[in-house]
Amino acid sequence: MTRPSATTAQRAAELRTALDRASYEYYVLDAPKLADAEYDRAFRELQELEAKYPALTIPNSPTQRVGAVPALALVKVEHHVPMLSLDNAFDAEELSAWEEKNARLNADVRRSGYTTEMKIDGAAINLLYERGRFVRGATRGNGRIGEDVTQNLKTVHELPLMLKGKGHPARMEIRGEVYISHAAFVKINQERARDGEPTLATPRNSAAGALRQLDPEITRKRRLRLFAFHVEVIEGKLPAERQWEVLDLLESWGFQVAPHRQEHKDLAAVQAAIPGYEALIKALEFDADGVVVKVDPLRLQEDLGVVSERIPRWGIARKFAPEVARTKLIRIGLNVGRTGAVTPFAELEPVEVGGVTVSSATLHNEDQISQKDIREGDEVEVMRAGEVIPQVLGPTPEARDRRGRGAAWTPPERCPACGTPLHRPEDEAIRYCENGGCPGRVLEGIVHYAGRDAMDIRGLGYERVRLLLQQGLIKDVADLYLLKAEQLESLEGFAAQSAKQLVAAIDATRARPLSTFLFAIGIRHVGKNNAQLLARHFPSLERIGKATVDEIEAVPGVGGAIAQAVFDFFENQGSQDLIARLKRAGIDPTEADAVVVDGPLSGKNYVLTGTLPTLSRKEAGQLIEKAGGRVTGSVTKATDVVVAGDDSGSKLDKAKGLGIEIIDEGELLRRV
């Protein structure tokens, strides 16, 4: 192999520097200095040098952003630190209530200050950097496990392959939002229409879809852009004490940060700024649906912690007033869910709400329909409050006053899918079909099992599940694992490659943890969070299958209704037969992050406060929970122990006042 000369290597380095600088000026600063033709010439020269001398090719070269081989499937990756979801506040009162709740945990929040950032309506991503180099990018997924989209993210020019400046920790995850600008979205649809392809529905959905493409070249055509907003340190130290400083750091490292961010001395200043933010919406080049409000000091963020490992107490999305449209309700339809729940929905004359054409919307339940007096044929108000599923608010005043309205809606007595008499529990507003073999339940159950938030079988949506059921190839989720590519190739919509991809995607689910399986299998009342709580205390199917109602209800965060539903599921003969068939197919999931039931901290409530010498708040909390203890956010009479570090705030004072035991990190480690 021919070795490049020193002069050639220097020229390659100069080209890389020039191209990186040009990309930064173009995509981040929006102030390009290098002409497009000059950029293209330099890029081609670098490509030719790297092709002639492979030793010159380095991972962060501008040429490595494109040209990856299409993947057969997206690989699952676990985030080092779970990705959180913000709670919402829709008015000033709800925002004030959020601060009041935080102040009960730590009074310092009232005088600590806040930052506000525009809430981008895009697709969340997680970027792993090691020693300043971009190593891996992943989708949010279920918050704990996402999909590896590294090659697709390399097509985003605003993503630094090598960080600029100094001060970045040795290993860290950077959180951001990928989006498509309004101008790019219009241009993409113009090009698709010219080529005879269907146009894309919304920038947000298009950005999320582009991230999950198997071919990076398709992703590149979507012209994705990126804002960064958060840092999670894995190894090293972050040279920042406030959220505002974190945003400054991200900019200095080469990231684009959302514009119009502000600092505020208190919540009153935040409230005063909201109308100004809302007035900006129509002038922005990207979709936004609110403002993110964060407690500014990182120490306080750490102290406030999270709710159920999912929602941060220190941040909230202040959503703008939702858009409401009027249209005609054509028919009240019924949907049979995976648990047998029969829920009504509205079939509407298509109407645009928040930039999306809506033809159906939720009606919640039969009690809501009765209370709001919603009838077929009414003109109704439809709202999308930043949510994916639109909802019917109720009839317009004109519709209520109109004579000759349609008859009041009557709830169904029998299942619309199988004719089985429906049962409505006394404490619920929903009727259930108890027939486990109901075609509606089977269809929805398999689709749910394959969904992105569940087992995430890429390429297995409603139409393909219907097709497989109609062809008799499957009758439940266990049959999915018996499918062969040769069986699929002859079906409509399949080719040899897509058949292999679906079988590979199904096979990949064998490695999913128990928490994912418990949510996917469709146990009534068991959502993602409850599934995680259950799996950590009963880390195998055998363990949870043998648990009593009392044992299940003893899991912190699991109530009586959930415990009974879980017990009933595993006692049901049909469920036992299904699980036995799944086990024969190789599906017997366990949970690695399990709690030691009889651990040294079992039955004890712990509170963490201040900065510990070596452990982060999350690491300390994980140690406590794995040892059987429970971590809570506030000091109460039920608190057994407070673990205090430097700069402990009001929690320490409250613990002293209540006579609660106070220990340091060293004592915690000894007990664990």
Catalytic residues: 119
Q: How many CB atoms lie within 10 A of CB 120?
A: 25
Residue 137 tokens read as 């990018």
Cα torsion 347, 351, 354, 356: sign? positive
**Helices (H), ranges, 53-139:** 92-105
d(CA 627, CA 634): 20
What is the C-alpha separation between 654 and 109, in angstroms, rounded? 16
Return the number of other C-beta atoms located less than 10 Å from residue 119's C-beta: 24
Q: Is 64 helix (H, G, I), strand (E, B) or coil?
A: helix
Element (H, E) at 267: helix 267-280
Within 8 A by CB and 6+ apart from 291, the residues are 116, 117, 118, 119, 273, 274, 277, 317, 318, 320
Residue pair 459/502 in contact (Cβ under 8 Å)? The answer is yes
Pairing of strands 315-319, 87-89: parallel
Q: How long is the chain?
A: 672
Q: For residues 418 and 430, what is the distance between their CA atoms, to the nearest angstrom?
A: 17
Phi-psi region of 166 (alpha: psi -120 to 50; beta: other; left: phi over 0): beta
Of the candidates 316, 272, 295, the one whose C-alpha atom is nearest the C-alpha of residue 106 is 295
Q: Return the sign of the alpha-carbon dihedral for residues 143, 147, 152, 153.
A: positive
Round to whole Å and give the CA distance between 340 and 338.
6
Percentage helix, strand, coil for the chain under 3-state DSSP, each rounded to 5: 40, 20, 40
Rounded to whole angstroms, how far apart are CA atoms 306 and 595? 19
